[in-house]
Structure formats: structure tokens, C-alpha cells
């Protein structure tokens, strides 16, 4: 084990990582798991959790944005005043990682974004995520928008039992005509064909490349959480780091 740790440390592009054996409830490898980090789009997992507290998979909503909303980061340009299923909204949110889907989710639940953030932070507290604070539903960098690897582990363990979320993040792509034309949207998870059925990717300047992976190969269930992976030219280092762990 010490040799494996030595090799991993040498090859990993980050010093922020965690590997967890779900069945045995044991951390296998870890470093800096209680240090404050930026979650980037891993935030959208909590957005999805709160959305599903208020809606069922097959419910429909009419899309609406907060007042003066501006499209920033990765977006799907979902039109306003369009009927969309909660399932399709979650696909936009978790598979394609659309920031505008996060704000539509917030307004579908609450009258304004601040009220939705209160729900997100309260849910985090019920999970024991005491070193987490959400300032937006999409994960854009903000000085007071932070978490830890340990807190992300607590959230990840909770959603493994969510059949709705796992069924979404297990998809390599999905089809939607919400924009007016039928289009195929592809997952941001480049390891999905290698046995990692999710859970969520992310990337911002402060978070670096980040990924929560769930691998069920070899009759095991291993969660890996990576943050601050080097932003390489192909934007693949968080996946390389995940496979090393």
C-alpha cells in the first residue's frame, strides 16, 4: 500500500483527492480532504437534490429565469416559457452541465435564487456538510462559495441511493428539442465508457479540473473525488487522476 501511495503521489496532477470504498465504508487514499476548495459544477449535484425534493421525475415545469439573468459559462440557451420535464431539466443540469439549467431549477422551486440557496445550504447541513457554503446554483467561482472533499464525500454517499440521479448520470448522452430543434447532448464525463457511471465533472479557474466518479467494476463500488487537477490542454487530467486512484 505504501508503494501504491508513493506511485500515486508521483503521478497525480493534484494534491487534493479522495478514494472511498462504499461497501466497506473506508477511505482508501486521501489528501487535503478537510481543506477549503471551490466545487465548480459539482455544485449542481446539490441543485439537483433540492429540485427533486420538490418535484418528481415525470413532472413538468415552465422554464423561467431570475430577473436580469445573464448566460455565463457553459449554457444550453434554454428558452423561457417552454414546458420541460424534470427529467430533461436534470439531464441538462447533470449530463450537459448547463448553468442556465441550474437557474431554471432554482426558480422552479423558489421565488428567487436567494431562497433556493437557503434550501441548498440547509440540505448541506442535514448531510453534515459543515464546511460547505453555496452562493449560487451552478458553481461559478465566488469567494464564499466553497466546500471540502470530505463534505463532497458525504453528499456523494447520499446520492448513490438516489435512483433518479444515478439513472441520469449513467447516460452518455440524451436527446432534447427544448431549443426548437432536436439535438443530441453529450456527457462531460469522458470516463463513462470505462465504467465510471458518474457522477459529475467541473472546471473553473479556482477549482481547476474536478470530478466525482463512481466505479462499480470488479464487484466493488469505489467513489473518487478529485479537485484542483492541472488544467491540461485536453482538459483530461482529472480523469487521469481518477483512474490512478
Confidence of residue 10 (pLDDT cuts 50, 70, 90): low
Rounded Cα gap, residues 192 and 214, in angstroms: 10
Structural contact between residues 137 and 102, judged by C-beta atoms closer than 8 angstroms: yes
Could you give the CA distance from residue 85 to residue 88 in angstroms, rounded to a whole number? 5
Provide mean pLDDT across the span 167-176: 96
What is each CA distance from 201 to 68, 104, 225, in whole angstroms?
27, 20, 10
Q: State the average pLDDT over residues 71-92.
A: 96
Residue 47 CB partners (closer than 8 Å, separation 6+): 93, 102, 105, 106, 120, 137, 138
pLDDT in tens, 19-75: 999 999 999 999 999 999 999 999 999 999 999 999 999 999 999 999 999 999 999
Nearest to 137 by CA among 150, 119, 125, 151: 119
Higher pLDDT, 195 or 114: 114
pLDDT at 3: 43
161-190: average pLDDT? 94
Q: What is the pLDDT of residue 1?
A: 40
Answer whether residue 15 shows pLDDT above 60.
yes
Q: Is the per-residue pLDDT at 5 higher than 60?
A: no
Under 8 Å between Cβ of 35 and 225: no
Q: Helix or strand or coil: residue 214? A: strand
> Coil, strand, or helix at residue 171?
coil
Round the CA-based radius of gyration of the chain to a whole number and report it. Answer: 17
pLDDT tens digits, one per residue of 198-210: 899 999 999 999 9
Q: Which of 164, 147, 135 is nearest to 48 (CA)?
A: 164
Alpha-carbon distance values, 234 to 15, 125, 238 (Å): 20, 36, 11
- Helices 113-126, 99-109: inter-axial angle, 10-degree rounding: 90
Is residue 219 scored above 50 in pLDDT? Answer: yes
Q: Please report the pLDDT score of residue 9 as a whole number.
A: 57
Distance, CA of 72 to CA of 244 (rounded, Å) = 33
Amino acid at each position: 500500500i505504501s508503494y501504491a501511495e508513493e506511485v500515486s503521489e508521483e503521478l497525480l496532477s493534484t494534491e487534493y483527492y479522495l478514494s472511498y470504498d462504499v461497501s466497506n465504508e473506508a477511505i482508501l487514499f486521501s489528501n487535503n480532504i478537510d481543506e477549503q476548495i471551490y466545487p465548480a459544477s459539482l455544485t449542481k449535484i446539490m441543485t439537483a437534490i433540492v429540485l427533486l425534493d420538490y418535484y418528481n421525475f415525470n413532472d413538468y415545469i415552465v422554464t423561467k429565469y431570475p430577473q436580469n439573468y445573464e448566460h455565463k459559462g457553459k449554457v444550453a440557451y434554454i428558452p423561457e416559457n417552454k414546458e420541460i420535464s424534470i427529467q430533461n431539466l436534470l439531464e441538462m443540469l447533470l449530463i450537459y452541465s448547463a448553468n442556465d439549467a441550474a437557474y431554471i431549477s432554482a426558480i422552479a422551486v423558489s421565488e428567487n435564487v436567494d431562497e433556493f440557496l437557503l434550501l441548498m445550504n440547509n440540505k448541506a447541513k442535514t448531510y453534515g456538510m459543515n464546511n460547505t457554503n453555496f452562493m449560487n446554483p451552478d458553481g461559478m467561482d465566488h469567494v464564499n462559495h466553497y466546500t471540502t472533499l470530505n463534505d463532497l464525500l458525504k453528499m456523494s454517499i447520499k446520492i448513490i441511493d438516489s435512483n433518479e440521479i444515478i439513472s441520469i448520470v449513467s447516460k452518455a448522452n440524451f436527446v432534447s428539442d427544448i431549443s426548437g430543434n432536436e439535438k443530441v447532448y453529450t456527457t462531460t464525463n469522458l470516463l463513462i465508457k470505462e465504467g465510471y457511471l458518474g457522477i459529475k465533472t467541473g472546471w473553473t479557474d479556482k477549482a481547476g479540473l474536478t470530478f466525482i466518479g463512481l466505479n462499480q467494476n470488479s464487484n466493488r463500488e469505489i467513489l473518487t473525488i478529485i479537485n484542483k487537477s492541472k488544467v491540461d490542454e485536453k482538459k483530461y487530467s482529472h480523469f487521469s487522476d481518477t483512474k490512478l486512484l
